[in-house]
Amino acid sequence: MVSARRSFEGTLPIAAMSRLCEALAGPDGVAQFELDFGRDSLGTDYLDVRAQASLTLVCQRTLEPFVLPVVVNTRLGLIKLERDEAGLPPDCEPLLVAEDGRLKPADVIEDELLLALPLIPINPDSSLPDEVTGHEPEENSAGEGRSENPFAVLRELKK
C-alpha cells in the first residue's frame, strides 16, 4: 500500500467498533474516514488518517448523554520495531505494524477515535444545578447589602 500510495475512503459503523462502543453511551452513527498511505522524502513509511464521527458520550457533570463531534487528522509513521520510533519525524505518531507489514484499517480508525475522546466527557452546553454549586438564586442575593467591606470590623478594632 505504501509503495503504491494507496488511498481509501468510506464509512464504518460505530457499532462495529467494540472497544469504542464500551466508552460510549450508544453505538449509533457512522465514522467517515480517509486513509492515505505513502513514503515521505526521508523514506519514512506513513499513513495519514482523517476521520470524523458524532459520538454519544455520557456527560460527567450531568450524567446525561450528549453528542460530541470528533475529528481526527493524524500522520502515523509505520514502524516494525520499537527502536525505529526515534527515527520518525516530529509530526509523526508511531504505529507498530506486524512483521509482515499488514494492518487492519478498521482497528487503526478505532484506535484514533479512542485517542480523540476526552478523558472526562463534559457537555459544553451543560451547567451544574444551583443546589450543587451552593449559589442562591439571584433574586435573593441581588437586593441584600453585600457591598459592605468584610474588613470594616477590623478597621473599627484598629481605632
Top-confidence residue, 150 or 9: 9
Beta bridge partners of 30: 13
Average pLDDT of span 61-90: 92
Task: Say which residues have a Cβ less than 8 Å from residue 155's Cβ, sequence separation at least 6.
Answer: 149
Residue 58: C-alpha distances to residues 24, 35, 93, 122, 139 (Å): 7, 29, 29, 8, 32
Q: How far apart are CA 36 and CA 74, in angstroms?
A: 11
Average pLDDT of span 75-102: 90
Q: How far apart are CA 93 and CA 90, in angstroms?
A: 8
Q: Which three cell numbers stand for residue 95?
A: 504505529
Average pLDDT, the chain: 86
Secondary structure element (H or E) that encloses residue 34, with its range? strand 30-39
**pLDDT score, position 47:** 94
Task: Say which residues have a Cβ less than 8 Å from residue 130's Cβ, sequence separation at least 6.
Answer: 136, 137
Rounded to two decimals, the pTM is 0.75
**pLDDT score, position 141:** 47
The pLDDT tens digits for 122-159 are 888 877 666 666 655 555 444 455 567 777 777 777 77
**pLDDT score, position 137:** 52
Q: How far apart are CA 36 and CA 51, in angstroms?
A: 12
The pLDDT tens digits for 19-43 are 999 999 989 999 999 999 999 888 8
| Chain centroid offset of residue 35 CA | 19
Q: How far apart are CA 22 and CA 105, in angstroms?
A: 20
> Which one-letter amino acid corresponds to residue 95?
L
Average pLDDT of span 80-96: 90
**pLDDT score, position 153:** 75
